[in-house]
């Protein structure tokens, strides 16, 4: 029985090499594996870069699965390492920011579930608490989702000025606060409720409505507004 072998990418016909296909036919003509292969640039012993890219997409559930991986998890995948993980993570983040940069493609928020669907995949896997704000225009279209704070969320640590500075920069009409619980349990803590009250009061002074505060856990989330925690109306 003949031993199996894999052609290196340079040994493939030019018409099958990803960069040449992009040059000749444009990026839309490339498969997901070919696009990822261009980012990775090289394969590993016994497997060329297109095959490596295809394997990664299958094993991790496509682009969404790769987005869910932390940088550290991606680094540890055989065939990647720090440099390639950084390239893939950077490309995924560019795609996310590009989506938000196009007004006609911006998500519109009409319920807490919309916010959860937007952020839960990524935030439920974070190993530290992250506080983000979903900044909205007058029609509840997302303007920006900056990370304001990383670390234990409490009323003394969260700088209200920093949070609202981002909102005022983009002339946001309202915002939704979102943070995660790395424990996986999204039950709001007394500190979460205290922070919510503090932010609502500041928003009233600055004429920026604080619409909600979501806590994201492992596959679950809680809306403090729905639970009437910190919100009086």
Judged against a pLDDT cut of 50, whether residue 198 lies above it is answered with: yes
- What pLDDT is recorded for position 156? 47
Which CATH homologous superfamily contains domain 106-223? Cytidine Deaminase, domain 2 (3.40.140.10)
Joined tokens for residue 191: 């500190």
pLDDT band at 177 (very low <50, low <70, confident <90, very high): very high
Judged against a pLDDT cut of 80, whether residue 8 lies above it is answered with: no
* pTM metric for this prediction: 0.61
**101-133 burial, b if ≥16 CB within 10 A, otherwise e?**
eeeeebbebeebebbbebbbebbbbeeebbbbb
What percent of the chain shows pLDDT beyond 70? 87
CA distance 125 to 68: 7
- Fold category of 9-101 in CATH: DNA polymerase; domain 1 (1.10.150)
The count of other CB atoms within 10 Å of the CB of residue 179 is: 26
pLDDT tens figures, 85-126? 899 989 888 887 776 666 556 788 989 999 998 888 788 878
- What pLDDT is recorded for position 158? 66
What percent of the chain shows pLDDT beyond 90? 26
For the chain, the average pLDDT equals 83
Q: Give the start-to-end residue ranges of the domains of the chain.
A: 9-101, 106-223
HEC-encoded secondary structure of 96-127: HHHHHHCHHHCCECCCHHHHHHHHHHHHCCCC
pLDDT tens figures, 49-93? 888 888 889 988 888 788 878 888 888 888 888 898 899 989 888
- What pLDDT is recorded for position 31? 86
Query: What DSSP element (H or E) covers 64?
Result: helix 62-68
**CA-closest candidate to residue 197, choices 160, 169, 168, 149:** 160
81 three-class SS = helix
pLDDT tens figures, 133-158? 999 999 999 988 888 888 766 544 56
DSSP symbols for 131-176: EEEEEE-TT-BEEE--EEEES---TTTS-HHHHHHHHHHTT-SEEE
- What pLDDT is recorded for position 224? 95
- What pLDDT is recorded for position 100? 66
User: Is the fold of 9-101 the same as that of 106-223?
Assistant: no
Judged against a pLDDT cut of 90, whether residue 186 lies above it is answered with: yes
- What pLDDT is recorded for position 106? 75
């Amino acid at each position: 029985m003949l031993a199996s072998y894999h052609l290196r990418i340079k040994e493939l016909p030019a018409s099958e090499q990803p960069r040449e296909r992009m040059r000749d036919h444009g990026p839309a003509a490339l498969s997901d594996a070919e696009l990822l292969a261009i980012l990775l640039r090289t394969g590993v012993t016994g497997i060329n870069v297109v095959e490596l890219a295809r394997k990664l997409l299958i094993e991790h559930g496509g682009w969404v699965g790769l987005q869910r991986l932390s940088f550290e998890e991606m680094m540890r995948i055989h065939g990647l390492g720090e440099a390639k993980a950084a390239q893939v993570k950077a490309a995924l983040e560019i795609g996310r920011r590009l989506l938000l940069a196009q007004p006609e493609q911006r998500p519109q928020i009409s319920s807490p579930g919309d916010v959860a669907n937007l952020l839960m995949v990524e935030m439920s896997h974070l190993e530290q608490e992250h506080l983000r704000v979903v900044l909205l225009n007058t029609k509840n279209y997302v303007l920006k989702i900056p990370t304001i704070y990383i670390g234990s969320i409490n009323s003394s640590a969260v700088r209200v000025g920093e949070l609202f500075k981002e909102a005022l920069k983009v002339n946001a009409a309202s915002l939704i606060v979102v943070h995660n619980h790395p424990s996986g349990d999204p039950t709001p803590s007394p500190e979460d409720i205290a922070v919510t009250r503090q932010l609502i009061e500041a928003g009233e002074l600055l004429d920026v409505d604080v619409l909600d505060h979501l806590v994201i856990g492992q596959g679950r989330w809680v809306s403090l507004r729905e639970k009437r925690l910190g919100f009086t109306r």
